[in-house]
Amino acid sequence: MKKLSAFFAAALFVALSFVSCNKVDNGSNTNDNSGDSISGGNGPKVMQLVQRGTYNNGSAVSIDTTKFFYDSQGRISKASYRRVDGQMEDTGETTFTYGNGKITATDSQHGEQFIATLDAAGRISQVIYAYDDGTGNIGNTPITVTYDSNGYIKTATADDGSLTYGGNFTWSGGNMTSGSGYYTDNYNGGSTSTTYSGTITYTDKTYNGNLCLEYFTSAMRSAGEIRADIEIFGLFGLCGKRCANLPKQVQTQEQTSYSTETETYTYTFNADGTVKTITENVDYGSGAETWVTTFSYE
């Protein structure tokens, strides 16, 4: 969750996008934004999550609170964010609009956007991160997402001209078991380097609720440079089928420094099968962190 919290603070887009896993409304709604929404269902909706992180040998604490707001069709319309880290406080808001086969998440403070295009199955086929580069130009690099024959995410690839980079994912028994991130230098002979590699093991636990929790944990870390762009949509079921079970442990290796990080997860549950808390213990060799996330539902 440490990774997720950092992304909340930077862009306010993660965990905030859509409201069910693998159920898509492709045009039955009647308002102006119809045709591009994710329908309600697949368990209770998350209304708030609170992440409490302890690090630096327990001497530092960070508390992140995110609240979710839904429209009359059950679609996410707004998410507000507040982080308190020592003496520092940060707040922000992300809004969501729908139309023309696309869903757009906009950071109201900075004007940054993630623009997602849906395929015929209601999954993300392309994501564009759009931003003002300070010169009046709007920069964007499309990320293309592909799926295997069983409907699981297979690849995510981006090409900015000088570099091609992306992630590859492997599935077994209904769970994502490994992944790797890479980049190819298009200007220097097309050499390819691996940036991240990771393996994932799972508990025997299933769960109820609208979140796809393999994206909330660090199971997607091995996507390398584009993992955050994927996570914001995968968390709520727009990147194909979700994992059958809850992740138990994620081990990742950053290939340039050869540093290894291990993240272990434990869970508590509400009576209806929704996840009540996730505790993440992070061991990154030179230090450790603990993050406890508490979920509130409709």
Indicate the pTM of the whole model: 0.80
Type of residue found at 258: Y
How far is it, in rounded angstroms, from Cα 257 to Cα 277? 33
In the block, which residue shows the tokens 């762009």? 229
How far is it, in rounded angstroms, from Cα 68 to Cα 78? 6
Hey, which residues does 82 pair with through a beta bridge? Answer: 65, 91
Q: Which residues have C-beta within 8 Å of that of residue 269, sequence separation ≥ 6? A: 205, 207, 275, 276
Fold annotation for 2-297: Porin (2.40.160)
Look at residue 39 and tell me whether its pLDDT is greater than 60: no
Instruction: Give the range with max mean pLDDT: 30-44, 148-162, 184-198.
Output: 148-162
Instruction: Give the range with max mean pLDDT: 98-112, 171-185, 223-237.
Output: 171-185
DSSP 3-state percent helix, strand, coil across the chain (nearest 5): 10, 55, 35
pLDDT digits (tens, 9 = 90+) for 59-84: 778 888 989 888 888 877 888 888 88
How far is it, in rounded angstroms, from Cα 17 to Cα 75? 9
How far is it, in rounded angstroms, from Cα 230 to Cα 228? 5
The domains of the chain are located at: 2-297
Q: How many CB atoms lie within 10 A of CB 91?
A: 12
pLDDT digits (tens, 9 = 90+) for 4-30: 333 332 333 333 322 234 333 333 333
Tell whether the torsion through CA atoms of 228, 229, 230 and 236 is positive or negative: positive
Question: Mean pLDDT throughout 156-179?
Answer: 85
